[in-house]
């Protein structure tokens, strides 16, 4: 009954206290619900997206001697297999076609026997470019043979005369790597490239040509059963990977040695596991600090009314209220703040989801959204309990009535954590862990290919976690120490605002330094959180742009068909097209180093630097300009990938003999190079290993100046438009890509997570938190001291003089909070980007600072503080005695 009456009184007379606490709870609940639900949607999307890239879930290779028909029956009868079709593989000694009086020939290749309905069942395997069903030539093969639909192609057979077939269509093989995989080969031993020459025959024709008679030598190499499985997978990529690879092993067991399963779906999910873990880590790094700050903010907001609450409790105790009754009253206030805060918070989360992602559940399943909402509600109620009920319970148990009446309370010594130097200790440990972990390259997530177990280097997370806590506590200590010992300089600084009352204002601030130092620490943390998140987000966008440029090579890239060699002169032709500012030819060769086959890029050393916007972070052992300069000065110089340097224990200046294909004889010949530096990234190059060499030297040594790509810089015209022009000029002989489309691919396939969605939520909430820390916390603090201001007014204080008190505090909290926040933000941004190196691809050269957001955030915080101060001053316009009567 008392609790209910109390609550009624609270709602009637102390609304701002209740609403303030509820707002803090609401922000924490909304943040956790939004980020959590978004994370759940993201990991689920990762699984779906990884699975969507797979053309055929499983390729079951029938072992030699086993019966393909039996294996097919077994595969089809497997529980989760929804469709299975057999594909035959054979080899050919070469293909030939006669065009315009000349015969074009290719080297060895593959012949596939495709069953009816295959293209429809596995649409990701074959994409028709021209012609119709029947005998299909791969695009590159068609280019090599200069063959078109309707022409006759001869297929070379071992021990038999060549078979003649009529080409019905030309196709692209988007999943050629998995299509021609070596099923059952150990991880990492897959061939680097699929065969250049591929012809696909209808299965009956294949049987006639490749196994003409029992006595004739069969060309058949293998039969693979392509299977689709039920895609009802667990939403987490890790769980999905374990599930699907378990099924694959189960099928192998059932086949009892009759077949090996090439688990393409498992491999795709395998790759997504690390991304999902990074998503969770990002949640921890970017979401958790926000939720914790929201919790602290709520506690600070609630504690703004703690003096009043304590005095009320003291009054109740003098009227005979027991500890239990006081706790019950505090719990009723907690329940009210929780109900209001949780309801409001979940409402905000729904609106955020609707506005940002067009769906209230952020794209997650209903169960996941409900679970996160429940979790957020629990956290919200815990925050409210910690902020209201726990301090009330502690006061009721530990304080006398006189103690509860105290409003200021002299502090003889600093809090225990400050006496033991917890803040400094945490910062030192953070620095040590950061240093140690950065020496290991910050490999946060380890998900070895094919191994079900993934591991996260949680130890490295200590660095930012301790840094946040340590920085918050240190901010409190510094603000507290300055207010305690710096009254005189503070009074001097306050003189423009408070005039001759500056010493009095400084004294007031000194006595009330606990709440003020807490406000400073909170504002510092929220400002640092907003700024570091913004810097991280901005740097991430910058690197995504770099990634897009790395993948595409330039604004527009023309990739020549290997069967249709063109020289650097082709670039001059394209340079005259509208919208083209410059064209840079890029050679591509395959080179053997020992037994390893690697990509080699031949560049024009005098122009590649500017044409491809090379960045220093892509190289080791010198800047981009220095190392490319070496290629110009010493033509036999070679830039090598870091992996190769490690594998072959290379030192600068070492001689490296590569085997490159001669342009005339087509035989591999040894070409000497000297290792001069490391290339970590290079436009159009793969991530792992490759070489960069001087194009003229390569052309001279191999007798061929053929280029593989032409990197086109536009003159400001939209790259997509220029790409269309170029496409019209080069026809189907070359593939034309542009950076506009590449950005879309990078944006939706980035290694880690859709960070833009996460940071959009983060940046919004960071701003809300900063505004709340700056404006709301100050406003509530002022509100609790309305009686003091009313007394001062009754004593004759003018508005200007009251403004000195109010603006002095506001200015101190704002200046100290934002100053310390800027320092923390700088350190945290560097640390975040370093610790989360794995999210960036490639790692950034420098941080990108989003000036507009930061200036906007700063202006918003200043505005919030100004509004809080102005509102307080406005409320003091009423006659003092009226205010005193109300208070």
Residues in contact with another protein by CB under 8 A are 405-410, 500-504, 507-508, 511-512, 785, 788, 791-792, 794-798, 801, 879-882, 884
Burial class (CB in 10 A: 0-12, 13-18, 19+), 52: exposed
CB nearer to another protein: pick between 635 and 804 = 804
Question: Tokens in use for 300?
Answer: 């600070």
Spatial contact of 570 and 660, defined as CB atoms under 8 Å apart? no
CB nearer to another protein: pick between 70 and 488 = 488
Q: What is the C-alpha to C-alpha distance for residues 526 and 686, in angstroms, rounded to an integer? A: 40
Distance in Å, CB of 394 to another protein, minimum: 19
Distance in Å, CB of 743 to another protein, minimum: 58
Distance in Å, CB of 799 to another protein, minimum: 11
CB nearer to another protein: pick between 740 and 884 = 884
CB nearer to another protein: pick between 73 and 411 = 411
Q: For 512-653, where are the alpha helices, taking DSSP H only? A: 513-552, 569-575, 608-611, 624-633, 642-647
Give whole-number Cα distances, 727 to 94, 209, 374, 556, 724, in Å.
31, 38, 54, 10, 5
Distance in Å, CB of 885 to another protein, minimum: 9
Distance in Å, CB of 510 to another protein, minimum: 9
CB nearer to another protein: pick between 145 and 314 = 314
Beta bridge partners of 154: 96, 164
Q: What is the C-alpha to C-alpha distance for residues 539 and 526, in angstroms, rounded to an integer? A: 20
Distance in Å, CB of 311 to another protein, minimum: 10
Distance in Å, CB of 439 to another protein, minimum: 51
Spatial contact of 689 and 680, defined as CB atoms under 8 Å apart? no
Place of tokens 């900063």: 770
640-644 own/partner pairs: CB under 8 Å, 24+ apart: 640/675, 640/677, 640/678, 640/679, 640/691, 641/598, 641/678, 641/679, 641/680, 641/688, 641/689, 641/690, 641/691, 642/678, 642/680, 643/688, 643/689, 644/593, 644/596, 644/598, 644/689, 644/691
Residue 699, number of CB atoms within 10 A of its CB: 18
Q: What is the C-alpha to C-alpha distance for residues 768 and 771, in angstroms, rounded to an integer? A: 5
Strand, helix or coil at 592? strand
Q: What is the C-alpha to C-alpha distance for residues 210 and 216, in angstroms, rounded to an integer? A: 9
Q: Which of 560, 554, 565, 535 is nearest to 824 (CA)?
A: 535
Burial class (CB in 10 A: 0-12, 13-18, 19+), 407: middle
Q: Which of 613, 720, 597, 623 is nearest to 679 (CA)?
A: 623
CB nearer to another protein: pick between 366 and 500 = 500
720, 722, 728, 734 alpha-carbon torsion, rounded to 10°: -80
Q: What is the C-alpha to C-alpha distance for residues 571 and 865, in angstroms, rounded to an integer? A: 60
Give whole-number Cα distances, 762 to 468, 471, 522, 523, 533, in Å.
16, 20, 17, 16, 7
CB nearer to another protein: pick between 162 and 791 = 791
Q: Which of 787, 811, 810, 792 is nearest to 802 (CA)?
A: 792
Residue 390, number of CB atoms within 10 A of its CB: 16
Place of tokens 């028709």: 128
CB nearer to another protein: pick between 256 and 795 = 795
Distance in Å, CB of 882 to another protein, minimum: 7
Spatial contact of 59 and 374, defined as CB atoms under 8 Å apart? no
Distance in Å, CB of 479 to another protein, minimum: 17
CB nearer to another protein: pick between 453 and 877 = 877
Question: Tokens in use for 191?
Answer: 């061939």
CB nearer to another protein: pick between 394 and 798 = 798
Strand, helix or coil at 65? coil
Distance in Å, CB of 845 to another protein, minimum: 51
Distance in Å, CB of 880 to another protein, minimum: 6
Distance in Å, CB of 517 to another protein, minimum: 15
Spatial contact of 99 and 167, defined as CB atoms under 8 Å apart? no
CB nearer to another protein: pick between 615 and 883 = 883
Distance in Å, CB of 858 to another protein, minimum: 30
Q: What is the C-alpha to C-alpha distance for residues 248 and 40, in angstroms, rounded to an integer? A: 26
Q: What is the C-alpha to C-alpha distance for residues 704 and 695, in angstroms, rounded to an integer? A: 10
Distance in Å, CB of 387 to another protein, minimum: 23
Distance in Å, CB of 406 to another protein, minimum: 5
CB nearer to another protein: pick between 750 and 873 = 873
CB nearer to another protein: pick between 192 and 318 = 318
CB nearer to another protein: pick between 370 and 408 = 408
Q: What is the C-alpha to C-alpha distance for residues 823 and 490, in angstroms, rounded to an integer? A: 21
Distance in Å, CB of 876 to another protein, minimum: 14
Strand, helix or coil at 128? strand
Place of tokens 């294909």: 661
CB nearer to another protein: pick between 294 and 314 = 314
Distance in Å, CB of 402 to another protein, minimum: 8
CB nearer to another protein: pick between 792 and 839 = 792
CB nearer to another protein: pick between 70 and 878 = 878
CB nearer to another protein: pick between 161 and 796 = 796
Distance in Å, CB of 520 to another protein, minimum: 17
566 DSSP assignment: B
Q: How many CA atoms lie within 13 Å of 322's alpha carbon, on the beta-carbon side?
A: 3
Q: How open is the CA angle 342-520-830, to the nearest 5 degrees?
A: 90
């Amino acid at each position: 009954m008392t609790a209910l009456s109390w609550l009624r009184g609270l709602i009637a007379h102390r609304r701002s206290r209740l609403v303030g606490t509820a707002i803090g709870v609401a922000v924490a609940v909304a943040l956790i619900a939004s980020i959590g639900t978004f994370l759940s949607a993201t990991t689920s999307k990762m699984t779906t997206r990884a699975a969507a890239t797979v053309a055929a879930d499983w390729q079951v290779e029938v072992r030699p001697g086993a019966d393909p028909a039996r294996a097919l029956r077994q595969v089809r009868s497997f529980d989760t297999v929804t469709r299975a079709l057999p594909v035959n593989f054979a080899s050919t000694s070469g293909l030939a076609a006669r065009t315009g009086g000349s015969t074009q020939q290719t080297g060895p290749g593959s012949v596939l026997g495709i069953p009816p309905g295959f293209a429809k069942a596995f649409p990701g395997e074959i994409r028709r470019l021209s012609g119709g069903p029947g005998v299909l030539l791969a695009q590159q093969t068609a280019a090599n043979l200069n063959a078109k639909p309707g022409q006759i192609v001869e297929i070379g057979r071992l021990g038999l005369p060549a078979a003649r077939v009529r080409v019905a269509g030309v196709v692209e093989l988007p999943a050629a790597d998995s299509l021609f995989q070596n099923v059952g080969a150990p991880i990492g031993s897959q061939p680097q490239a699929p065969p250049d020459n591929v012809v696909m025959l209808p299965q009956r024709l294949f049987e006639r040509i490749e196994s003409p008679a029992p006595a004739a030598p069969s060309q058949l190499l293998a039969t693979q059963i392509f299977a689709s499985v039920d895609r009802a997978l667990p939403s987490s990529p890790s769980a999905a990977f374990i599930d699907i690879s378990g099924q694959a092993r189960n099928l192998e067991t059932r086949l009892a040695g009759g077949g090996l399963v090439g688990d393409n779906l498992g491999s795709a999910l395998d790759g997504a596991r690390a991304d999902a873990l990074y998503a969770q880590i990002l949640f921890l790094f970017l979401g958790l600090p926000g939720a914790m700050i929201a919790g602290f903010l709520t506690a600070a907001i609630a504690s703004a009314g703690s003096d009043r609450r304590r005095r009320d409790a003291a009054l109740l105790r003098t009227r005979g209220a027991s500890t239990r009754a006081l706790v019950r009253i505090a719990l009723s206030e907690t329940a009210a703040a929780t109900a209001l805060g949780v309801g409001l918070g979940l409402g905000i989360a729904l609106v955020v989801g609707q506005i940002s992602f067009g769906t209230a559940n952020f794209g997650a399943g209903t169960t996941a959204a409900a679970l996160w909402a429940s979790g957020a509600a629990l956290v919200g109620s815990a925050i409210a309990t910690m902020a209201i009920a726990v301090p009330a319970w502690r006061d009721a148990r530990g304080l006398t009535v006189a103690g509860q009446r105290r409003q200021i309370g002299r502090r003889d010594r600093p809090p225990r954590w400050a006496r033991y130097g917890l803040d400094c200790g945490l910062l030192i440990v953070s620095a040590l862990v950061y240093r140690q972990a950065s020496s290991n390259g910050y490999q946060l997530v380890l998900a070895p290919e094919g191994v079900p177990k993934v591991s996260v280097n949680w130890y490295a997370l200590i660095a930012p976690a301790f840094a946040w806590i340590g920085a918050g506590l240190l901010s409190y200590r510094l603000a507290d120490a300055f207010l305690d010992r710096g009254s005189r300089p503070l009074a001097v600084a306050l003189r423009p605002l408070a005039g001759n009352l500056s010493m009095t204002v400084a004294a007031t601030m000194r006595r009330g330094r606990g709440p003020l130092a807490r406000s400073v620490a909170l504002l510092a943390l929220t400002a640092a959180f907003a700024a570091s998140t913004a810097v991280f987000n901005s740097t991430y966008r910058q690197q995504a742009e770099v990634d897009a440029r790395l993948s595409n090579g330039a604004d527009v890239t023309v990739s020549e068909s290997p069967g249709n060699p063109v020289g650097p002169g082709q670039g001059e032709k394209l340079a005259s097209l509208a919208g083209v500012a410059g064209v840079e030819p890029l050679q591509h060769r395959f080179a053997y180093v020992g037994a390893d086959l690697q990509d080699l890029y031949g560049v024009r050393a005098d122009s590649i630097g500017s044409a491809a916007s090379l960045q220093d972070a892509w190289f080791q052992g010198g800047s981009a300009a220095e190392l490319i300069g070496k290629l110009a000065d010493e033509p036999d110089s070679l830039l090598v990938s870091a992996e190769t340097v490690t594998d072959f224990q290379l030192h600068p200046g070492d001689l490296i003999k590569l085997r490159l294909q001669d342009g005339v004889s087509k035989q591999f010949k040894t070409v000497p190079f000297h290792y001069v530096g490391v290339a970590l990234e290079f436009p159009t190059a793969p991530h792992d290993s490759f070489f960069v060499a001087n194009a003229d030297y390569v052309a001279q040594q191999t007798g061929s100046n053929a280029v593989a790509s032409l990197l086109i810089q536009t003159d400001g015209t939209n790259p997509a438009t220029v790409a269309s022009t170029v496409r019209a000029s080069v026809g189907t002989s070359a593939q034309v890509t542009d950076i506009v489309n590449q950005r879309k691919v990078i944006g939706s396939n980035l290694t880690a997570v859709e960070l833009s969605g996460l940071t959009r939520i983060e940046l919004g909430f960071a701003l809300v938190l900063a505004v709340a820390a700056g404006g709301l916390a100050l406003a509530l603090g002022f509100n609790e001291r309305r009686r003091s201001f009313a007394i001062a007014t009754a004593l004759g204080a003018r508005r200007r003089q009251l403004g000195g008190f109010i603006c002095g505090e506001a200015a101190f909290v704002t200046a100290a909070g934002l100053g310390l926040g800027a320092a923390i933000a700088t350190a945290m941004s560097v640390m975040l980007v370093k610790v989360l190196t794995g999210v960036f691809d490639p790692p950034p050269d420098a941080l990108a600072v989003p000036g507009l957001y930061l200036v906007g955030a700063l202006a918003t915080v200043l505005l919030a503080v100004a509004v809080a101060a102005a509102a307080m001053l406005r409320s003091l316009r009423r006659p003092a005695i009226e205010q005193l009567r109300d208070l």
